[in-house]
Structure 1
Amino acid sequence: MEYFGTIRAPREILFGFGQRRALGAIARRLGRRALVVTDTRLAADADFRAMIADLESAGIVVRIEAGTLPDVPVESAVAAAAAARPFDPDLVIAVGGGSCLDMAKCVALLLSHGGKPQDYYGELKVPGPVLPLIAIPTTAGTGSEVTPVAVLSDAERSLKVGISSPYLIPDIAICDPDLTLTCPPGLTAIAGADALTHAIEAFTAARRPVTDGLTQERVFIGKNAISDQFALRAIALLWEGLEAACAVSTDLTARAQVMQGATFAGLAFGVAGTGAAHAIQYPVGALTHTAHGQGVACLMPWVMDWNRPVIGRELGQIATAIGLASGDDVIPAVSALFRRIGIPPTLSDLGLAQNRLAWVAEQACSIERLIQNNARPIARADMLRLLSSAFTGNRSLMATA
C-alpha cells in the first residue's frame, strides 16, 4: 500500500543559524532543574558556556554532566544517572554529538523508570514517558536529535546494543549549523557519510505488509510513503553539501545542507529503520574499533549492490534527486563520493582480518531486526559472499549469489 506511512518526531524542531540562543526560553516551558549532558571538550566551549548562561538567566538551575564517553559504555550511563538522582532534575538537555545525545536519552530513561539499561534493550521495552528532553546536536550525522533510539556499548556482549522506543524521541530538537563549524573535516566526513547511509537504507528498506497494528507493534516499520519523503530529500541535501563541507569547514550553505540532511535522515530511519549495512557494522566495529559512520559508509555501496535486483525503482528516484542520468549510475557515484571524503572502500582497508569474515557473517545474520528490514533477503551463505566482495573489492563474487 504505497499511500501508507507514518512519522514519529519531536513535537518541535528548530533549525537554523543562531537557533541555540532560544534554549533558555524553550527550556523554561519544560522545567526548572536541568541536567545538561555533554562531554569534557564541549563543556569548555564558548558556545556551550553561553547556552548555560542563557539557561541560568532564564531562572533554571543547572547541573552539568560532562562525562560522556565515545559509544556510551553502559556503566557510564548508569553512573551518570546515579550521580544526577540527588539533583532531582525535571528536564534533561543534551549538547554534543551522537554519543552525548544517546547518553542523555539513557540517563533520562533511568531517572524516570529506574533499573539498568539492559532492562530496556530491544524495541518497545520502555514502559512510559521519560523526563522532558531537549537535544542540541553539534555534529551532523546520527540524527539522534529526532530518533527513538539510544545506542550503547555493552562490554559483556562485545557489541553495540540499542534501546528503541518512541518515548526516547526528544521533545525539542534545536539544530543550529553554527555548532558544526568547528567540526574537523575527518569527523564531518564520517558523520555525514553516516547520515547518507541512514537515508539510503531507509529509502531502500523492505516494505512490510500493512496491518492495523504495524505501527504499534514495531518501532521500525520499513519503507513507507512518509519516511520516503524525508529520506529522498536527505539524500539530495547530503549529496549537494557533504563534500563541500568537508573541503571548506566555513561553507555556511554546505554546513546547513549537511545538518538538515542528517536531521531528515534521522526522521526517515527513525521510523523506516536501517538494514544490512548497519547489521554488518556492529560486528565489524567490535573487531576493528573504527567509527560507526566510517563502517556503515564503507559497507553501503556493497549492500546496495546486493540489493540492486530489487531496488531498481529506488535507484532511479535517487538518480533523479541527485542529478544522475540513470539508476545504474547511483552506486558507482556513491562509492566515488565516499572515496573522495576519505571513507575506506573495502573491509580490508577498514582493518578487518580476512579470517574473521565467517564470524562477522554469523553475527550480522543474527541481528534479525536489521536483516529482516533489508530490501533483499540475505541468508548466511549470501552474507559471506557479500562480505568477501566488500573485503576484496571484487563485485563479481556476489554474482553467484
Structure 2
Amino acid sequence: MAASGESLFLAHPPAQKPLISTGLSFRDACIHHIENHFHASRIYIVVSASLSKLDTYRSFESEIVKSIARVRRGIRPYTPWSDVLEVADDLCDTQPDLIIAVGGGSVTDGAKVASLAYANDAHTVEDLERLWAKSERASRIGFEAATRIASCRIPIIDVPTSLSGAEYTPTATAVDTRTNHNVTFRHLSMTSDLVVLDPELSILTPERVWFSSGIQTMDQLIEGICSDAPQESEETRKLLEHHLRLLLPNLLTTQKDNASLDARLHSLLAAPACFQALELGLGASHGIRHHLGPLGVGHGETSCVVLPAVLRFNYTYGSHELKSRLNRVRDAFWSEPLVAEALKAQGLTHEESDAADVVYAYIKLFGMPRSLAAVGVRREVFDFLPPNAHRDFWTQNNPVPLSTKDILMILEMVADDSSWPSFPSAKKARIVE
C-alpha cells in the first residue's frame, strides 16, 4: 500500500516486481515500506562509500538503527567477485529479511549477485564460477535450465543514485578477479522488489557519474531499438523510443540546471525501459564495453567511447532493415526541440546526419570522453581485447555478425580523438546484406 503523497506503480506490468515509488524522500519511502510492506526487522544495507558519509544518508540509518543487522559501506567499481563473496558471507552471518541497496550500478549489482550467491550456497570463487556458468547456460537454452538455480529469497529495496537501470533487470555484471573478465549473471529472481526514486538524493551524485550513467541507459535503449528482434516486437521498440525521447531532453536539462528535480525524476523514469531493451537483445556496444571496465574505465564512460563507433559500423555494414532502425534512433534525437537545437549548434542537420553522428555530438555536449586514449586505454590492449570481446554474449547478439577483425576496426575508430572523423561515412559505404 502506498504512503500518503507517494505514487506506487509496477515497472513492467503484468510482472509483479519491481514496484516503483516516487513522491517521497528515500528516507520516508523506505521507512514506510520496511514497516508496512516487508515487515522487516533484520535489514542488511549496502551503501556507496561516498554516500554513507553524508548527513542525508546518516539520518536515515539512525532512524532504523534498531532494525539494522549490518551495513556494508561500498562496493568497488565493476563489482569484483571478492566483494560479492564478502557480502554473501555477511548474508550468511546476519540472516537478514530485507536488503536495501543505496547507490549506483556497482552497489545494485553487488547486492543482486550476492543475494543469488547466498541462495545457492556459493562461498568461493569456484562456486561463483559454477553459478555463473549455470546462469549463462540457462540464458541460452531457456527456463528448464534456470530452474536448477535456486531463486533469491531476500527481498531488495533499491535506491538508485545514478541512471544505470541495473535495478530493473534480472541480470547483474561482476568481475572475475582471477581473470579480470566482466561476466553477467542472469536469473529472473534477481530483479529488485522495490525501486525508490528520489531526485533530490541524486543531486549528490557527481555530475560525471550522473551524465555518463545517462549515456549508459541511452546505449541500452538504442541497442534494444536496433536489435534483430522479430517484427512482433514493434510495440516494444516504440516503448523504447518513447523512453529515449524522455531521457534525451531531461538529461540535457540537468546539465543546464543541476537542481531541476522534475528533469532528474523524468531522467530516472527513463531507466525502467532498460528491462525491455534487454528482452529485445543488446549488441556489440555492450559486448565490447564489458571488457573495457576491468581496464579501469567507468561504467557509463565505456558507452560514451564505444556506442558511436558500433552504430557507425552497423550502419555501414548492416541490412537495409537495420539502417531503417538506426534512422529511427536519429529521428528520436531530432524530434526533441532542446536536443535538436544543441545538435544544430554543432553544425549537424537532420538530413545529413546519421545515428552515429547525433549520438557522438550528444555525448560531446556533456564533455564526456569519446576515445580510448581519453580514458587511458592504449593500443597495447588491441592484442587481447578483440578476442575477449568477441566471446561476449552481447557481441554475439549484434545485428551485424562480427569477427575479431571487425571489433579491431571498431576500436580503431575511437583509438584517439583524431580517429573518429577518419572512418568513411556510412552513406558512401556498401551495405552488406
Task: State the match for 2:389 in structure 1.
Answer: 364
Task: State the match for 2:51 in structure 1.
Answer: 42
- Tell me how far 1:270 sits from its aligned partner: 3.5
Distance 1:230 1:95, change over 3 A: farther
Structure 1 unaligned residues grouped into runs of 5+? 211-223
Q: TM-score, normalised by structure 2?
A: 0.79
Task: State the match for 1:215 in structure 2.
Answer: none
| Partner of residue 98 from structure 2, selected from 91, 95, 98 | 91
Using the aligned pairs only, state the percent identity: 22
Q: Structure 1, residues 109-156: CA drift from partner, whole Å, max 9, x if none?
A: 23322114323214345332431111110112x111111112112121
SS of the equivalent of 1:321 reads: helix
Q: Structure 1, residues 254-302: CA drift from partner, whole Å, max 9, x if none?
A: 21222122233x2233423321011111333333x11121112211111
| Partner of residue 176 from structure 2, selected from 150, 154, 174 | 154
Tell me, in whole angstroms, the C-alpha distance in 2 between the residues paired with 1:7 and 1:336: 37
Distance 1:131 1:188, change over 3 A: same
Tell me, in whole angstroms, the C-alpha distance in 1 between the residues paired with 2:288 and 2:249: 27
Tell me, in whole angstroms, the C-alpha distance in 2 between the residues paired with 1:350 and 1:397: 25
SS of the equivalent of 2:182 reads: strand
Tell me, in whole angstroms, the C-alpha distance in 1 between the residues paired with 2:369 and 2:251: 16
Equivalences for 1:188-227 in 2 at 5 Å?
Answer: 188-207=210-229, 224-225=233-234, 227=236
Equivalences for 1:324-339 in 2 at 5 Å?
Answer: 324=335, 325=350, 328-339=353-364
SS of the equivalent of 1:396 reads: coil
Tell me, in whole angstroms, the C-alpha distance in 2 between the residues paired with 1:373 and 1:167: 23
Structure 1 range deviating more: 105-114 or 348-357: 348-357
Task: State the match for 2:324 in structure 1.
Answer: 313
Tell me, in whole angstroms, the C-alpha distance in 2 between the residues paired with 1:260 and 1:81: 30
| Partner of residue 290 from structure 1, selected from 278, 297, 309 | 297
Tell me, in whole angstroms, the C-alpha distance in 2 between the residues paired with 1:316 and 1:278: 20
Structure 1 range deviating more: 63-72 or 298-307: 63-72
Q: Does 1:120 align with 2:136?
A: no
Asked if the contact 1:106/1:117 (under 8 Å) is kept, the reply is no
- Tell me how far 1:19 sits from its aligned partner: 5.3
- Tell me how far 1:305 sits from its aligned partner: 1.1
SS of the equivalent of 1:35 reads: strand
Task: State the match for 2:114 in structure 1.
Answer: 107
Task: State the match for 2:424 in structure 1.
Answer: 396
Equivalences for 1:1-400 in 2 at 5 Å?
Answer: 10-16=17-23, 18=25, 20-28=27-35, 29-30=37-38, 31-55=40-64, 60-115=67-122, 116-121=127-132, 122-123=135-136, 124=138, 126-140=149-163, 142-207=164-229, 224-225=233-234, 227-264=236-273, 266-287=274-295, 289-308=296-315, 309-310=318-319, 311-324=322-335, 325=350, 328-367=353-392, 369-391=393-415, 392-393=419-420, 394-396=422-424, 399=429
Distance 1:319 1:383, change over 3 A: closer
Distance 1:75 1:187, change over 3 A: same
Q: Structure 1, residues 301-341: CA drift from partner, whole Å, max 9, x if none?
A: 11111122432332333344333545944321211111121
Asked if the contact 2:209/2:300 (under 8 Å) is kept, the reply is no
Tell me, in whole angstroms, the C-alpha distance in 2 between the residues paired with 1:189 and 1:61: 33
- Tell me how far 1:7 sits from its aligned partner: 8.1
Tell me, in whole angstroms, the C-alpha distance in 2 between the residues paired with 1:226 and 1:93: 34
- Tell me how far 1:194 sits from its aligned partner: 1.0
Tell me, in whole angstroms, the C-alpha distance in 2 between the residues paired with 1:145 and 1:307: 29
Structure 2 unaligned residues grouped into runs of 5+? 1-11, 139-145, 336-349
Tell me, in whole angstroms, the C-alpha distance in 2 between the residues paired with 1:351 and 1:256: 33
Distance 1:359 1:61, change over 3 A: closer
Asked if the contact 2:251/2:263 (under 8 Å) is kept, the reply is yes
Letter in 2 for 1:138: T
Distance 1:381 1:296, change over 3 A: same
Tell me, in whole angstroms, the C-alpha distance in 1 between the residues paired with 2:207 and 2:308: 22
Asked if the contact 1:39/1:66 (under 8 Å) is kept, the reply is yes
Tell me, in whole angstroms, the C-alpha distance in 2 between the residues paired with 1:129 and 1:95: 19
Letter in 2 for 1:346: S
Of structures 1 and 2, the one with the larger relative CO (CA 8 A, separation 6+) is 1
Tell me, in whole angstroms, the C-alpha distance in 2 between the residues paired with 1:327 and 1:377: 27
Query: What count of residue pairs does the alignment treat as equivalent?
Result: 378
Tell me, in whole angstroms, the C-alpha distance in 1 between the residues paired with 2:198 and 2:95: 29
Distance 1:255 1:102, change over 3 A: same
Task: State the match for 2:7 in structure 1.
Answer: none
Asked if the contact 2:227/2:399 (under 8 Å) is kept, the reply is yes
Aligned CA-pair RMSD: 2.7
Tell me, in whole angstroms, the C-alpha distance in 2 between the residues paired with 1:275 and 1:343: 22
Letter in 2 for 1:295: T
- Tell me how far 1:17 sits from its aligned partner: 5.4
Letter in 1 for 2:259: T
Tell me, in whole angstroms, the C-alpha distance in 2 between the residues paired with 1:6 and 1:380: 39
